[in-house]
Amino acid sequence: MEVTVVKWGNSQGIRLPAHLLEHLHAAVGTKLNVTFEGEAVMLRPDPKQRHSLEDLVAGITPENRHNEIETGAAVGEEF
């Protein structure tokens, strides 16, 4: 993949295509760790990045849902 460095105000940057962000499980606002390995620049999602509830719920599928489990009778004010 080839990208071009462009000028943004007083800075420079590159645009990351949507398919690359999807591969990284990243979106606008995601923090990335940038490291250098030889002459390569490596971008990795920050493992400490907190996910929003919306992101977490979006990841629920029939395949990864757990069945309900019985925990016994209520002992307080739970519902």
The average pLDDT across 16-34 equals: 88
Q: Taking the model in full, what pTM does it have?
A: 0.50
Whether the predicted pLDDT of 30 surpasses 90: no
Share of the chain above pLDDT 90, in %: 41
When computed from its CA atoms, the radius of gyration of the chain, rounded to whole angstroms, is 21
Q: Report residue 12's pLDDT band, with 50, 70 and 90 as the boundaries.
A: very high
Given this model, what pLDDT does residue 26 score? 84
Beta-carbon contacts of residue 15 (< 8 Å; ≥ 6 apart): 3, 6
Domains and CATH numbers, the chain: 5-59 (2.10.260.10)
Going by C-alpha positions, the residue among 38, 40, 55, 45 that lies closest to residue 20 is 45
Q: Does the structure show a pLDDT above 80 at 78?
A: no
